[in-house]
Every structure is written in C-alpha cells, then in structure tokens.
Structure 1
Amino acid sequence: MIRVIAGGKKHQDWVNMAISEYEKRLKKPFNVEWQFFDEDKLLKYLEGWPFSGHEFVIVLDERGTNISSVELANKLNQQFVDAKEAVILIGGAFGFTDEIRARANFVWSFSKLVFPHQLVRVMLSEQIYRAQEINLGGKYHHE
C-alpha cells in the first residue's frame, strides 16, 4: 500500500473524479490510502515523525530530485520488495520545513515549477498508476 499524507483540504470534486479514474485501476501493493490534515496540524503531526521505520518516506518538493517514471516505478517496487510501506507527503501552500525534508528517505520533485496541491494529487495518482503499469509490463507507458 501507498499512504499519501496531504496538507490542505480534502479533494475538490474535479480532483476526486480524476483521482478515482486512476485509483480504480490500481492493484495491491500500488493501492493508495489518503490522509488529510489542515496545514498547521500536518506540520505538528510530522514534527513528531510518527513513523515506525518500516516506511519509505517520500516528500514532494520542488527542490527535490527530478526522476523519470521508470525510476519512480523501480523505487516504489524496491520498497515493496523490502516490505516497506511507501509514504508520500504532499505539503500545503507553504510546503515542509528543512527538518522534515532532511528526515525523508527521498525528496522528489515533479518539476522546478510549483503546482497547486490539488493538481499535484492528480499528477501523483497518475504517476502511481504509471509505475504500476511499468512494473507489470503494461501498455500504458511508452518509451
């Protein structure tokens, strides 16, 4: 399972529609569970870093490393092989602190551009679906 912890409000209707199109195609271990926090509560939740060490934590941040879809597929697949839960953090309007980024296992950037967190949720869902299809040898991803 992939757990996505996001700052900000729950999905807007258009985001729900887009995400559900990808999520209905996801199979274990690529299925996604969403947790939402108000921005100030998200940072407080993460300050205590409530993870057990059995997770591979990815922070989405424009200052992170830009990787290809194939690299993401490999990275997620390796966590499943290692019996770790992938946890992906999406910040709200103000992102994450340096401390949270430093404590993550990987800081991932979609782009040097900054995107609204609702749009990032849709993009992330598509990339998780693409990663699944790459790992299954599906026809969705073309190189």
Structure 2
Amino acid sequence: MIKIIAGGKKNAGWVAEACAEYEKRLRKPFDVSWNFMSEEKLDKYLAEWPFSGREYVICCDERGENISSPEFSAKLEKAFGVGQEVVILIGGAYGFSDTVREKADFVWSFSRLVYPHGIARVVCIEQIYRASQILSGGPYHHE
C-alpha cells in the first residue's frame, strides 16, 4: 500500500480524473490511498512526525534528488521487500521545512521545475503506475 498525504485543497475535476485513471490500473502493493489536509493541518501533523520507522517516507520537494523512473521503482521494490508501507508527502504552496526533509527517508524531486499541486499529484501517481509496470515487466515503460 502506498499512502499519499497531500497538502492543499482536494483535487480539481481534471486532476481527480487523471489520478483515477492511473489508480484503477494499480494492483497491490501499488494500490494507493489519498489523505488531503490543509497546509496548516499538514504542517502540524508532520511537526509531530507520526511515522514509526515501519514506513518508507518519501518527501516530494524540488530541492530533492532527481532520479529516473527505474530508480524510483527500485526504491519502492526495496521498501515493499522489507515490509514497509510507502508514504509519499506532497507539500502545500510553501513546501516542507528543513526538519521534514531531513527526517524523510528520501527527498524526491520530479525536476528542478516547481509544479502546481494538481500537476504534482498527477505526476506522482503516474510514476507509481510506471514503477508497477517496470517491476512487472509490463509494456508501459520503454527504455
């Protein structure tokens, strides 16, 4: 299971539709659940760092590491292989504090560009689907 915790408002119609298209293709352990919080609530939630270490926490931030799709799929495979639940954090308009980035297991940058929340959510779910296809040998990803 992959839990995505996103700051900001719930998805606009086109974002929800795009995310739903990828979600319906996903199978365990790549199935996802979304938790939307206001930016203020997300900041408070993360200040208490509610993760126990049984989770592999990925923080999406433009200051993170830019990796390839196969490298991302390998990170997910490794986490699932040791029984960790994957938690992906997508921040609000002001991103994450240094403390949150330091506590995360991996800080992932989609690119050096900054994306609006909706596009970041679609990119995230598409990359999860792509990772599932890479690991299953599906036809979606081409090298």
Q: If the TM-score is normalised by the length of the shorter chain, which range does it land in?
A: over 0.9
Cα-to-partner distance string for 1:16-53 (whole Å, 9 max, x where unaligned): 11001100000000001000110011000000001121
2:29 is the alignment partner of 1:29:
yes
TM alignment of 1:57-136, pairs within 5 A? 57-136=57-136
TM-score (norm 1): 0.99
Instruction: Give the number of equivalent residue pairs.
Output: 143
Give, in whole Å, the separation in 2 of the partners of 1:25 and 1:115. 24
Cα-to-partner distance string for 1:60-119 (whole Å, 9 max, x where unaligned): 000100000000001001100010001000001000000000000000000111000111
2:40 is the alignment partner of 1:54:
no
Q: CA RMSD in A?
A: 0.5
1:3 matched to which residue of 2?
3
Q: Does the residue aligned with 1:79 lie in a helix, a strand or coil? A: helix
Provide structure 1 residue ranges, at least 5 long, that are not aligned to the other structure.
none
Could you tell me which amino acid in structure 1 is paired with residue 54 of structure 2? H
Could you tell me which amino acid in structure 1 is paired with residue 23 of structure 2? E
Q: Does the residue aligned with 2:101 lie in a helix, a strand or coil? A: helix
1:44 matched to which residue of 2?
44
Give runs of ≥4 in structure 1 deviating > 2 Å. Answer: none
Give, in whole Å, the separation in 1 of the partners of 2:52 and 2:58. 15
2:126 is the alignment partner of 1:142:
no
Give, in whole Å, the separation in 2 of the partners of 1:65 and 1:94. 18
